[in-house]
Amino acid sequence: MTETGLTMLNRTADGVARATPEPLARRVRGMSDKGLAWLFISPTILLLLAINIFPLIWAIQLSFTNYRANRPNELVKNVGLSNYQRILNDPDIWIAMQTTAHFVFWTIVLQTLIGFSLAYLIDRKFRGHAFWTTIILVPMMLSPAVVGNFWRFLYQPQIGLFAYAVSFVTGIPPTQIEMLSNVSLAPWSIIIVDTWMWTPYVMLICLAGLRSIPEYIYEAAEVDRASNWRQFWSITLPMALPFIMLAVLFRGIENFKMFDMVNLLTGGGPGSTTEVASITLKRQAFESWRTGYSSAFAIILFVAVFGLANIYVKALNKVKQR
Amino acid sequence: MKPLSKMTLGLASALLASTAISNVAQAEDLTLCWAAWDPANALVELSKDFTKESGIGMKFEFVPWTNYADRFLNELNSKGKLCDLIIGDSQWIGGSAENGHYVKLNDFFDKEKISMDDFVPATVVGYSEWPKNTPNYWALPAMGDVVGWTYRKDWFEKPELQKEFKEKYGWDLAPPTTFDQLKQIAEFFQKREIDGKTVYGASIYTERGSEGVTMGVMDVLYSFGFKYENPDKPYEMEGFVNSEGAVKGLEFYKALYDCCTPPGSSNSYMGEGVDAFKSGQVAMHMNFAFTWPGLYKDEAVGGDKIGFFVNPKETAQFAQLGGQGISVVSYSEHQEAALKYIKWFANKDVQAKWWSLGGYSCLKAVVEDPGFPASQPYAQTFLDSMAIVKDFWAEPSYASLLQASQKRFHDYVVAGNGTAKDALDGLVKDWTEVFQDDGKM
């Protein structure tokens, strides 16, 4: 910082100190830096404790009971690990987990491929690239409720544009393109919408990665007469990889707990074809009111996401250190 | 005292008095909770008379059907004081009675000489009693409802269609009286061009999220011989839930879904059904009777173009009960005023006006009045349907029981997984587990 800058900062600090009411200033004056730091972060910590940690501890406690929130007068019994045992032996839960895994896998693959490709194109800085970047970003700025509802109309086999577009290309009558009713197509209908909505997010992270690569590395590669293909594999991809992995981590965690889009588009149907883990959890917790059981399921999901994310972050750190 | 001080004092007193009066008025206000639908608007209109008579203001908390159960069961479970009066779904009665959410009304009925004998028996059992068929009352029957059918009378009356239908099926095109006839009519209309538009056979319930597919399937299964349990041995379901007749009924429902519904009907309930009928997509439409006044008034499909018919028969004839009773919430701080409302609502004149505004009265004096069948074009169908009703479990665990049936039925009917027998066997297994968890088996 320049000397002028420092002087200005001191003047501002003096101004703030003079403006502080005397009783407060007296109290703060006697505090150590550590005490002051605690003073500033304590409201956030208290809030976190109240809305995150306390419910988590409570849910852990409830997961060992037969508690049902709709029967407040019933005696709550400790059932040990039986809720966990029942969940892990329930074939429906495993089907829901498989559905979730299928959904997470394909959304991540598609979003990463398309997101990175878009970022690579946008990074070329062609004419009007700023305009196109804004256009591409629009879907992720919309509310999931809005997106879910309008895609439901787009998928409508009688009046939906999607059915007509597919019909135009394939020649299949639009009324036969039942994206949300067909068992084979319904999971893909959700994957398409999620990819449409969240690819721009992956693109943004990848773009940040591409823009962080120093220009001189490419210049050195040019001097060494490295081909574009070689530059992509040896410079662009390795250097952008930590960013891509970060995007995968964020989307993976988000999609593991995906609820809104599935609920709005298919409600878990047809049958249980698109019933992901979060939909099962909601049904157990707020429709069947099996509070103890659903708490155990929530803890299992939490441990699974937390564990997988931790392993992934370690891998990410290794890539960054290379 | 100076004039200015006098004026200030006067203004302050007036302000204080007005605040006090408004507080008194607020303290007397009642909040009534219900679903957001046409009958709720009629009730708002009706309740103005109560405010006029009693001086008690009415506030309303209406929630769309999709969130109705979640929202109000959460409210009751958390002992919330939002609702003084609640028009809760018929299946909630067991849980709400056993968990102390509703005030028991027996003493109040005795004191005010309100007799349950004055109400249609099916509505008393369905909306008021817990345990069922015992004189323990937790609600006053408020809104009678039942699943029935509407059809496009104008299409049915087209001479060319009548002729073609007669040639094809050998009987006159008319509202069906059996399920076979219903399917034949639905097949006849499926993908037919009428007035330059492709139309479809029937709109039926297939919704997965709340209770839709169960209400639709049950509406058919009862008439095919389905029973919830052994009449002589409660909670024994093997051979009753999955009886041969029940299997046939479920197969019929799937066949009807596969052959004769509009494309994209995999998640259809009350609203979607009304939309399909109003937009002229379907020849027949399964729905609760509450939709009929609105459809009859509709300019495009109402009036002379619409007809109503009772659920068809098979080996027997039954229909799925809908509707609700009105209860006083035990956590309310205005129970006295809420009971006053119940007393007022039970009055014959009020019930007659309730019917005229679009609500479905359950009072015998109204529905058994000689002029009732002719009072609306759908009145007779409503009466006939109410005479054959059956309802889903009303046990405290109804939600778990409902969730199991939603999954089993949707898996089979819409997703086409397994057989009807598998679905019903699975349902026996699921329901047995629920009752075992409850310690009832």
Which residue from B100, B209, B415 is facing A267, i.e. has the nearest CB?
B209
Q: What is the pLDDT of residue A288?
A: 84
Is residue B433 included in any domain, yes or no? yes
pLDDT tens per residue across span B360-374: 999 999 999 999 999
Q: Are residues B140 and B70 in the same domain?
A: yes
Which residue from B70, B77, B410 is facing A72, i.e. has the nearest CB?
B77
Q: Are residues B125 and B44 in the same domain?
A: yes
* CA distance linking residue B342 with residue B106, whole number of Å: 13
Is residue B76 included in any domain, yes or no? yes
* CA distance linking residue A92 with residue A217, whole number of Å: 53
Q: What is the pLDDT of residue B52?
A: 95
Q: What is the pLDDT of residue B80?
A: 92
* CA distance linking residue A115 with residue A109, whole number of Å: 10
Is residue B169 included in any domain, yes or no? yes
CA of B288 to nearest chain A CA: how many angstroms apart? Answer: 22
Contacts with B412 from chain A: Cβ below 8 Å: 271
Inter-chain CB proximity B263 and A73 less than 8 Å: no
CA of B155 to nearest chain A CA: how many angstroms apart? Answer: 21
Q: Are residues B117 and B152 in the same domain?
A: no
**pLDDT category of residue A110 using cuts at 50, 70 and 90:** very high
- Is the model's pLDDT at B25 over the cut of 50? no
Inter-chain CB proximity A175 and B399 less than 8 Å: no
Q: Are residues B136 and B78 in the same domain?
A: yes
Mean pLDDT, range A132-157, rounded to an integer: 93
Q: Are residues B51 and B188 in the same domain?
A: no
- Number of domains forming the structure of chain B: 2
Contacts with A269 from chain B: Cβ below 8 Å: 208, 266-267, 410, 414-415
Q: Are residues B151 and B281 in the same domain?
A: yes
pLDDT tens per residue across span A204-218: 999 999 999 999 999
Distances (CA, A) of A273 to A46, A87, A97, A186, B213: 41, 19, 12, 7, 16
Q: Are residues B138 and B155 in the same domain?
A: no
Q: Are residues B370 and B290 in the same domain?
A: no
Contacts with A289 from chain B: Cβ below 8 Å: 73, 77, 399-400
CA of B289 to nearest chain A CA: how many angstroms apart? Answer: 26
pLDDT tens per residue across span B153-199: 999 999 999 999 999 999 999 999 999 999 999 999 999 999 999 99
Encoded amino acid at A193, one letter: V
Q: What is the pLDDT of residue A300?
A: 96
- State what percent of residues in chain B have pLDDT above 90: 85
- Is the model's pLDDT at A28 over the cut of 80? no
Inter-chain CB proximity A178 and B209 less than 8 Å: no
Q: What is the pLDDT of residue A69?
A: 86
pLDDT tens per residue across span A48-95: 999 999 999 999 999 999 999 888 778 899 999 999 999 999 999 999
Lowest mean pLDDT among A60-64, A271-275, A286-290, B49-53: A286-290
pLDDT tens per residue across span B52-89: 999 999 999 999 987 888 899 889 988 999 999 999 99
Is residue B156 included in any domain, yes or no? yes
* CA distance linking residue B164 with residue B166, whole number of Å: 6
Which residue from B100, B263, B267 is facing A73, i.e. has the nearest CB?
B100
pLDDT tens per residue across span A215-252: 999 999 999 999 999 999 999 999 999 999 999 999 99
Tokens 């329901």 locate to B431
Q: What would the DSSP string read from start to end of A190-206?
A: HHHHHHHHHHHHHHHHH
Q: Are residues B196 and B234 in the same domain?
A: yes
CA of A183 to nearest chain B CA: how many angstroms apart? Answer: 6
Is residue B12 included in any domain, yes or no? no
Q: Which helix (H) or strand (E) holds A107?
A: helix A91-122
Q: Are residues B184 and B288 in the same domain?
A: yes
Q: Are residues B137 and B170 in the same domain?
A: no
Mean pLDDT, range B95-122, rounded to an integer: 95
pLDDT tens per residue across span B280-294: 999 999 999 999 999
ipTM of the complex: 0.77
Q: What is the pLDDT of residue A24?
A: 62
Whole-structure pTM value:
0.84
> What's the token pair of residue B362?
């359950």
Inter-chain CB proximity B264 and A270 less than 8 Å: no
CATH number (domain holding residue B166):
3.40.190.10
| Residue B63 domain boundaries | 28-145+323-390
Q: What is the pLDDT of residue B24?
A: 44
Q: Which helix (H) or strand (E) holds B94?
A: helix B93-98
Is residue B18 included in any domain, yes or no? no
E strands, B209-302, where?
A: 282-288
Is residue B229 included in any domain, yes or no? yes
Residue boundaries of the structural domains of chain A: 82-321
Mean pLDDT, range A257-281, rounded to an integer: 92
Contact A136, A203 (CB under 8 A): yes
Q: Are residues B80 and B41 in the same domain?
A: yes
Determine the residue of chain B that is closest to A178 in CA distance.
Answer: B264
Secondary structure of residue B327 in the 3-state scheme:
strand
CA of A138 to nearest chain B CA: how many angstroms apart? Answer: 28
Instruction: Choose, out of B192, B267, B403, the residue to mutate when testing the contact with A (most A CBs < 10 Å).
Output: B267
| CATH 3.40.50.10310 corresponds to the domain A82-321 | no
Is residue B359 included in any domain, yes or no? yes
Tokens 């409302």 locate to B341
